[in-house]
Amino acid sequence: MNVGHSQKEYNFMYDKSQVFHSFDCEQDAERAIKRSLDAANIWYKQQHTLKSGKRLDFVARFDDFYFPIEVKKSLLSSSQMALAAAQANSYAVELKNPVFIGPIASNRLAVESDGAMKYLTTVMAHFNVGYIVINSTSFAFFLGETPFMVFRPSQGVRFTPDRYRYRHWSGSQMKSVLVEQSK
């Protein structure tokens, strides 16, 4: 099976323990996103300009749902993750739709994280920021600790739309609503 890379180039993906990897540059991270979306046959647009003039790196569309993506070459530290989440949250507020940061390249799609990372990803989800984990051409979109969309070449896309939610905040009151399909 052609997975778009050699084992030597991405040896970390074949390690038995969980290993995360950053990309050398943002263009490499963008290529990984494109390769994964192409493998899943998911439509996307690059450099999408919002009404405010802000630009998203990608907007993917699957099953009439939109998945805005902000690409970062590295999300291996909590400070990198927090800064990317703050940027993505500004887009999420404007779009009234969760925005995803990534990719986080790993040798598996499930994320075994420590307490601090679980805390951070839970907080991010409450502010409408998710993340993408990539393994070769497989990927998973997360809002919080559990993925709601997973693609594996051998199984296709598994999407759970009832877990794709946007959180509206009014002071300390939060209302979680399902993301609507595009018309």
CA–CA separation, 151 and 182 (whole Å)? 21
> Would you state the pLDDT for residue 104?
80
Geometric angle at alpha carbon 171, from 128 and 165, rounded to 5°: 25
- Whose tokens are 């940027």? That residue is 87
The structure's pTM equals 0.84
Domain that holds residue 16: 11-178
> Would you state the pLDDT for residue 170?
86
Residue 152 structure tokens: 């594996």
**Pairing assessment for the beta strands 65-71 and 165-170 based on DSSP bridges:** unpaired
Identify which of 106, 154, 157, 102 has the alpha carbon closest to the alpha carbon of residue 131. Answer: 102
Note whether residue 73 is domain-resident. yes
Query: How many independent structural domains does the chain possess?
Result: 1
Note whether residue 183 is domain-resident. no
> Would you state the pLDDT for residue 15?
45
> Would you state the pLDDT for residue 37?
93
- Whose tokens are 């950053």? That residue is 22
Note whether residue 1 is domain-resident. no
Note whether residue 90 is domain-resident. yes
Q: Which residues of the chain have pLDDT under 50?
A: 1-16, 18
> Would you state the pLDDT for residue 80?
83
Note whether residue 4 is domain-resident. no
